[in-house]
Structure formats: C-alpha cells, structure tokens
C-alpha cells in the first residue's frame, strides 16, 4: 500500500471512530457533567479545570487556594438540553473557554467523509469500469467492459 493511501485509510477510519466517540461523549454529557480540577500545591495559584457537560467541553483557569485534585461526576437533575455555541471569558482571575462537541464532530465527519469519497473514486478508477462500476479485475487493461461494452479511457 502506498503511503498516501495508508494516510487516507487512517483518516477515513480514525475520523469515523473519533466521530462515534464524540457522539457518545455528547450523549453521556446530557445526563451529567464530568469535572476534573487540579489545584495549586502550596499557595494561592491557578486551578486548571476540564469539564464535559451539556454537549460541550470546557477548559478553565481560576485563581484558587491549594487543594487536592478533584474528579467529579455530577448527574443533572433538570432537563435534557445541549449547549451549541462557543463561549469564552478572559478576566484577571478567570480564563475560560467552552467548545460545543458538534464542532470537533463536524470536523471528524468532514475529514472521514472526504477520505471515504477519494477512496471510492480511486476504487472506481482502479479495478472498476468507470461507466458502470463492473469489477474489471482479471481483464486485460484495454479490453472492453463485459457488462456495458465500453472501452476503458
């Protein structure tokens, strides 16, 4: 397999798997939030928080006092709704950015979809009749298509 083909195969299947994982994360994030927070060790400093909730992932930096790292799963009591918009804030004591999961999802879908289409196109060009897609493997390169009678270009 040529290296370009291998990269394409990786994008095609890797993108599909990542899309499924993103979709699964979106569904799970409807039921509750996963919050991971690390705090400064000795004195007041930045706390790094990463969360997945309501269909979005967020990263935040907040000024905080020392505490042990926290990992919390917090089930939602109310409703089933998703966040669709990007949001961010930059203050002296708070830096925050939130990205809805549909954005990486769309990216993975596009990357995988493009690789998929290119694969199909090459497949047709290689072993299949360009006009009727009949499998030409085993035929002489110049032989007309046994299915539709067209000669290969």
Chain contacts with Zn ion (rule: CB under 5 A): 129, 131-132, 134, 145, 147-148
In terms of CB distance, is 24 or 132 closer to Zn ion? 132
First to last CA, the chain: 24
Q: Bridge-partner residues for 87, per DSSP? A: 98
Nearest approach, Cβ of residue 116 and Zn ion (Å):
23
Nearest approach, Cβ of residue 147 and Zn ion (Å):
4
Nearest approach, Cβ of residue 118 and Zn ion (Å):
22
In terms of CB distance, is 1 or 140 closer to Zn ion? 140
In terms of CB distance, is 95 or 127 closer to Zn ion? 127
DSSP state letter for 151: P
Q: Which contacts qualify for 17-24: CB closer than 8 Å, 24 or more apart?
A: 18/104, 18/108, 19/105, 19/108, 19/109, 19/112, 22/101, 22/104, 22/105, 22/108, 23/105
Nearest approach, Cβ of residue 17 and Zn ion (Å):
35
In terms of CB distance, is 5 or 150 closer to Zn ion? 150
């Amino acid at each position: 397999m040529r290296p370009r083909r291998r990269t394409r195969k990786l994008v095609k299947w890797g993108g599909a798997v990542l899309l499924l994982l993103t979709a699964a994360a979106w569904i799970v994030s409807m039921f509750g939030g996963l919050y991971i927070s690390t705090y400064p060790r000795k004195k007041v400093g930045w706390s790094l928080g990463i969360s997945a909730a309501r269909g979005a992932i967020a990263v935040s930096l907040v000024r905080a006092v020392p505490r042990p790292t926290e990992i919390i799963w917090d089930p939602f009591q109310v409703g089933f709704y998703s966040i669709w918009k990007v949001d961010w804030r930059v203050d002296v004591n708070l830096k925050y950015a939130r990205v809805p999961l549909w954005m990486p999802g769309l990216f993975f879908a596009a990357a995988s979809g493009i690789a998929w289409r290119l694969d199909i196109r090459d497949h047709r060009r290689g072993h299949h009749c360009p006009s009727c897609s009949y499998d030409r493997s085993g035929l002489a390169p110049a032989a007309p298509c046994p299915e539709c009678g067209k000669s290969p270009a």
